[in-house]
């Protein structure tokens, strides 16, 4: 706990400076990639062909099943409670 209490303004300022420097390095690298892509169109096509392979983790499918299951459970609870069914206008 003493470590957490000893964090001062200098540490916070240092974190912001490191974050800003990392952001500037990222922007510089992206700018150089754009310039490189304009000079070497074949290299840009190769990069664009390899870029999708970077995302190894698949995107999970939407949870439609969970939504349908929740609607069915809610409908069952309404029937079990004895409330009259809601009239829906179609």
Alpha helices (runs of H) in 1-90, residue ranges in sequence order? 2-5, 9-39, 41-50, 64-81
pLDDT at residue 10 tops 90? no
pLDDT at residue 88 tops 60? no
What is the pLDDT at residue 50?
76
Read off the pLDDT of residues 12-68 as tens digits, 9 standing for 90 and up: 889 999 999 999 999 999 899 888 878 877 877 777 777 777 666 666 666 666 777
Cα gap 46→40, rounded to integer Å: 10
> Structure pTM?
0.43
What is the pLDDT at residue 28?
96
- Terminal Cα-to-Cα distance of the chain (whole angstroms): 61
pLDDT at residue 90 tops 60? no
**Domain spans of the chain?**
2-80
Cα gap 19→27, rounded to integer Å: 12
Q: Any idea what the Cα angle at residue 89 is, between residues 83 and 90, rounded to 5°?
A: 130
Q: Which residues contact 78 (CB under 8 A, 6 or more apart)?
A: 85, 86
SS3 category, 8: coil
What is the pLDDT at residue 21?
97
């Amino acid at each position: 706990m003493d470590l957490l209490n000893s964090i001062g303004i200098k540490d916070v300022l240092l974190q912001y400076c490191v974050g800003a420097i990392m952001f500037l390095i990222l922007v510089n690298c992206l700018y150089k990639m754009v310039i490189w892509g304009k000079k070497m169109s074949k290299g840009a096509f190769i990069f664009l062909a390899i870029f999708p392979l970077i995302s190894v983790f698949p995107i999970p499918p939407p949870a439609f099943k969970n939504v349908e299951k929740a609607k069915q459970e809610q409908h069952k609870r309404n029937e079990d409670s004895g409330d009259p069914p809601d009239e829906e206008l179609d």
